[in-house]
Structure 1
Amino acid sequence: MTLPLRIGIWALVHGNRAALHDPEEPYDASWQRNRRLVLEAEALGYDCVLVAQHTMNPHRPDLGQLEAWTASAALAAETRRIELITAIKPMLYHPVVLAKMALQIEEISGGRFAINLVNAWNRKEIEDAGMLFREHDERYAYGAEWLGVVERLMRGEQVDHQGRYFQVKDYLLRPAAATRPRPRIYVGGESGPARDLVAAQADVWFINGQPVEDVAALIADVRRRPRAGEPVRFGLSTFVIARETEAEAQAAYRRLLALAQQDAEIKAYVKANTDAAVAMRKTQAKFESVGTNGGTAGGTVGSYDQVAARLMQFHAAGIDTLLTQFQPFEPEMRRFAEHVMPRLAAIRPG
């Protein structure tokens, strides 16, 4: 069954998505800005927002960084329709504590909350806090056990779990989710262990921006893996630059690419703190692009018609949740809503 295409945004938890030094978008990762951004996105018809989780800014430690979970609780109370997807690195929260937080935000939102499990790539963020940064495949084993406990607790089960990493004795959380069995679970990561985790435990797999044929191959691979219950759904991150003409879009792209080249020191800092085994970094290294998590590598730079056509191709390949990035974010988000969303009306929710 082909599902409608839901379109969301990335919250600006650590500011600019393409280039730090942009005169058209001064750095701002504040709660006030993110609140305005999400409320406007909801009013414009966007369906969801991803609130990424970092305790310290991953690009430069002296820059501001939004706290994902407290901000999401506040957004749950302020919004009415948009889905709130909040990322979580499992080593930062015990599963009992996190499940309780998730159920509380689920209640505040009236059933619009979701968690996005990410098994972490920033070694510095974890080690400098005095915590163990496990190696790549063990992080996924840890995340799978962690998520298994969280999922059952969010579902309202009484959990007795004696595992490798966690021991939980007869734990029951109340109130349970009132509007559905539990919050939705998104999972990121593209390595083999990540795909196994997706097939076994995720509702939706977030894929980083890359060409349509590569995305289709990833989707086919996960669909072949053993799965119990409902089929996995698929999401994609992409940075969009859309204009009246392709030439105008390419000029805007070149502007951001030039600005991004001023961030060489930041990129070196990020690389030094990144686990070399992380698949996302290997994927991004294949393409020239702007933006995070694949950025424009999916080919979403062009005229309004071209961008809409490319997004329809992703939808035909199996993507039903699209997470967009822009810069400068607010005016480009409005441009996309005005000019590209109407061109996608045939595949959007009614």
Structure 2
Amino acid sequence: MSKLPRFGVWALVHGSRAALQDPAEPYDASWTRNKALVLEAERLGYDSVLVAQHTINPHDPSLDQLEAWTASAALAALTSRIEIIAAIKPYLYHPVVLAKMAQQIEHISGGRFAINLVNAWNRPELERAGIGFAEHDERYAYGREWISVVEALLRGEAVKHRGDNFRIDDYQLRPGDPFRARPRIYVGGESEPARSLVAAHGDVWFINGQPHDDVAGLIADVSARARPAGREALRFGLSAFVIARDTHDEAQAHLEHLFELAELDKPLRERQKANTDPHAVMHQTFARSARVGSNGGTAAGLVGDYDAVARRIVDFHRAGIELFMLQFQPFEADMASFAHEVMPRVRRLLDV
């Protein structure tokens, strides 16, 4: 693990992360906003951007939804330093097609592209398309076979594969990757099948926001699992919603304000809950505590004055978190203040 943590941001692919009806941050999931946000994140020194994949908005199908892979290709051409991580749900793309797309974005970006493998939780997205929504463990079995094909193709191998879901005969993609062996693979999910999959195929495990001791336990569990021969040690990322202010009271006041705004979205959240796979561990974890933000949100505890937030980040980093994938609201303003106020404090605490 590097001495310094890396910091990334979530692209606003389906609008605001904490509350959709915030007068200070009107709903906007447009390409125009996301392009500007990512370019500003790069300028501010952020290391990564995660572009989540949905084809229809998971909160309200009538709302806008940024498409992850076309947006990621465009971002690859527009940026020069930031890592671009595109989420992928295996049922939406055949592995041969997806591997070629990933390889192309790797070339466009100059070796800054990564895949985030997720196995889907939103039923309507797949059911309404006629794809079908398999049971939890079946989705992970499919995803494991899928990523084994994609990974081999990204390495430039000639793939012959006979599995439960795919039959591939001597398939090889060209040109190969001139920058490294293959793009980085992130894996999300905290169930037993997800942990097994990331140990076998992942480079970085994305953990949803939750308290420090819970995160440390997850890291210990997956770190102890066998890895394929020759593969580097697994690294870890954490999703978190940040509220950092001059004082603790100011941060708490903003948190309470976001809780009030989030109540306005309650009908949408209830609809989302009804559409969610009840076996998804992510949502079981979220139910343990009140929070705002997605993917664990404020459950990671990055709420407080600048010094307190910096100290908590250092604690997570020392427990094994390398990449912090962050959310804010208002996003652009708080993203900037985090870069100016919290990042330097983290560097000082780590004496770098």
* TM-score bracket for this pair, using the shorter chain length: over 0.9
Tell me which residue corresponds to 2:154: 154
Provide, for residues 208-260 of structure 1, a one-character-per-residue CA deviation record: whole Å limited to 9, x for no partner. Answer: 00000000000000011111221110000000000000000000000001000
Question: Residue 120 of structure 1 corresponds to which residue in structure 2?
Answer: 120
Q: Which residue of 2 aligns with 1:50?
A: 50
Counterpart amino acid of residue 189 in structure 2:
G
Shift of residue 187, structure 1, vs aligned partner: 0.2
The match for 2:247 among 222, 245, 252 is 245
Amino acid across the alignment from 1:224: A
Deviation at residue 4 of structure 1 after TM alignment: 2.5
AA at the equivalent of 2:173 = L
Residues of 2 paired with 1:151 and 1:265: CA distance? 40
Of 101-110 and 340-349, deviating more is 340-349
Q: Distance in 2 between matches of 1:250 and 1:205?
A: 30
Counterpart contact for 2:311–2:349, Cα < 8 Å = no
In 2 relative to 1, CA 295–323 (structure 1 residues): closer, same or farther, beyond 3 Å?
Answer: same
Distance 1:334 1:248 in 2: 17
Distance 1:287 1:271 in 2: 16
SS in 2 for 1:333: helix
| Shift, 1:348, TM fit | 7.9
Distance 2:73 2:274 in 1: 33
TM-superposition CA deviations, 1:81-107 (whole Å, max 9, x none): 000000000000000000000000000
CA offsets 1:257-280 (integer angstroms, 9 cap, x no match)? 100011111101110110000000
Measure the CA separation in 1 of the matches of 2:45 and 2:23. 28
d(CA) in 1 for partners of 2:64 and 2:351? 35
Mapping of residues 23-172 of structure 1, within 5 Å: 23-172=23-172
Percent identity at matched positions? 65
Residue type of the alignment partner of 2:203: D
Q: What do residues 320-349 of structure 1 show as CA deviations (whole Å, max 9, x unaligned)?
A: 000000001000101101110110125789
Q: Which residue of 1 aligns with 2:201?
A: 201
Distance change in 2, residues 1:349/1:125 (3 Å): farther
Please give the alpha-carbon distance, in whole angstroms, between the structure 1 residues aligned to 2:144 and 2:351.
Answer: 32
CA 174–116 in structure 1, closer or farther in 2 if over 3 Å, else same: same
Q: Cα distance 1:101–1:211, how it changes in 2: closer, same or farther (>3 A)?
A: same
Structure 1: distance between partners of 2:99 and 2:2: 31
Counterpart residue type for residue 11 of structure 2: A
Kindly report which structure 2 residues correspond to 1:218-233, keeping only aligned pairs within 5 A, or say none.
218-228=218-228, 229-233=231-235
Q: Could you say which residue in structure 2 is the equivalent of 1:292?
A: 294
Number of aligned positions between the proteins: 350
Distance 1:165 1:50 in 2: 28
Runs of 4+ in structure 1 over 3 Å off? 346-350
Match of 2:325 in 1: 323
Match of 1:19 in 2: 19
List alignment gaps of at least 5 residues for structure 1.
none
Q: Secondary structure at the match of 2:217?
A: helix
Report deviation, 1:80. Answer: 0.2
Q: Deviations over 1:25-47 (max 9, x none)?
A: 00000000000000000000000
Report the Cα distance in structure 2 between the residues aligned to 1:125 and 1:318, rounded to whole angstroms. Answer: 34
Do the aligned residues in 2 keep the contact of 1:6 with 1:349 (CA within 8 Å)? no
SS of equivalent to 1:161: strand
Counterpart AA for 1:68: A
Task: Tell me which amino acid in the other structure corresponds to 1:120.
Answer: A
- Please say if residues 2 and 318 of structure 1, whose CA atoms lie closer than 8 Å, have aligned partners that are also in contact: no
Structure 1 contact 4–349 (Cα < 8 Å) conserved: no
- Residue type of the alignment partner of 1:310: R
Distance 1:268 1:60 in 2: 11
Contact 1:85 1:115 in 2 (8 A): yes
Provide the secondary structure at the position in 1 that maps to 2:116.
Answer: strand
The one-letter amino acid of 1:227's match is R
Distance (Å, rounded) in 2 between the aligned partners of 1:348 and 1:40? 25
What TM-score do the two structures reach when normalised by structure 1?
0.98
1:63-118 Cα shifts (integer Å, max 9, x gaps): 00000000000000000000000000000000000000000000000000000000
TM-score, normalised relative to structure 2: 0.98
Note the aligned Cα RMSD (angstroms): 1.2
Is residue 179 of structure 1 aligned with residue 185 of structure 2?
no
C-alpha contact (below 8 Å) 2:314/2:350 kept by paired residues:
no
What is the distance in 1 between the residues matched to 2:274 and 2:124? 9
Contact kept in structure 2, 1:288 and 1:297, CA below 8 Å? yes
